Amino acid sequence: MSNSPPNIHKITIKDLLFTPIGCLLKASPVFIFILLALAYFAWDYVYNNVNINLFGVGAPDYQQLSIDSGFYNIKDSNQDSWKIEYDYTGDSTFSGLVRHVSPIRLSQFPMLSHDILVTTEDFSNPSIVTTDVSDHHFSWINLDNATPKGTINLLHTVPLNMTIYQQLLKIQNGTKVKIIGREILRINAYDPNGNRFAWWEDNGCNSILVKSVTIIN
């Protein structure tokens, strides 16, 4: 009988880094394909549905956007440009309970950041009104016969600056908010030759240049 101590292998950082790679190299092509597909769909879901800043991917890049003082004209480093038309001269206020928030990821309109559904009274109560947001449009269904009281507004947000964008990132479902800004009628997009190639105009929603965000506890 030997009294020598057992040979204990200590786990090193190298083991932690290369063991998963070694396992993947031995895995079947079908398993690797499934793993990559799951990773892709997980990334796609988070990118398009979760209100987080994915290392700046998809966020308004204010360093690459040249914006005039009135927030009427925007130009990027590729010389594409946008002209914003507003509904009113003054600001509008939207206060209530958020029942949906998701990022807007549209390369044609890099200034747009979020869809935020702000509700009050009956529209805030899921036992009275169900709500849904899909493809930048909202719908609701009344679960009883009475006409719902209150308001429901889907905001398509354009943050005034990075500080406002960071505040919008803090909004989640169930958050009570007060959002102030100037409502946008239309955003026209132009190529470097001045040809309009796209425009953004909401239908029954509220596109808004957000100037102030308050989260109400």
Q: Are strands 92-103 and 114-119 parallel, antiparallel or unpaired?
A: antiparallel
pLDDT value of position 119: 98
One domain for residues 168 and 72 = yes
Does 55 score more than 70 pLDDT?
no
User: pLDDT tens digits for 63-109?
Assistant: 889 999 999 999 998 899 999 999 999 999 999 999 999 999 898 99
Q: Is residue 5 part of a domain?
A: no
Q: Which domain holds residue 37?
A: 13-49
Give the chain as a 3 state SS string: CCCCCCCCCCCCHHHHHHHHHHHHHHCCHHHHHHHHHHHHHHHHHHHHHCCCCCCCCCCCCCCCEEECCCCCEEEECCCCEEEEEECCCCCEEEEEEEEEEEECCCCCCCCCCEEEEEECHHHHCCCCEEEEEECCEEEEEECCCCCCCCCEEEEEEEECCHHHHHHHCCCCCCCEEEEEEEEEEEEEEECCCCCEEEEECCCCCEEEEEEEEEEEC
One domain for residues 129 and 206 = yes
Q: Is residue 59 part of a domain?
A: no
- Average the pLDDT over each of 52-61, 71-80, 143-152, 191-200 and give the range with the smallest value: 52-61
pLDDT value of position 59: 76
One domain for residues 105 and 190 = yes
Question: Bigger pLDDT: 69 or 5?
Answer: 69
Q: Please give the share of the chain, as a percent, with pLDDT higher than 90.
A: 64
Structure token pair of residue 160? 């005034």
Q: Is residue 60 part of a domain?
A: no
Mean pLDDT of 30-35: 68
One domain for residues 33 and 126 = no
- Average the pLDDT over each of 41-50, 136-145, 202-211 and give the range with the smallest value: 41-50
Q: What is the CATH number of the domain that holds 202?
A: 2.40.50.140
User: pLDDT tens digits for 142-180?
Assistant: 998 789 999 999 999 999 999 999 999 999 999 999 999
Question: Bigger pLDDT: 33 or 120?
Answer: 120
Mean pLDDT of 185-195: 96
One domain for residues 90 and 143 = yes
Report how far Cα 195 is from the mean position of its chain's Cα atoms.
28
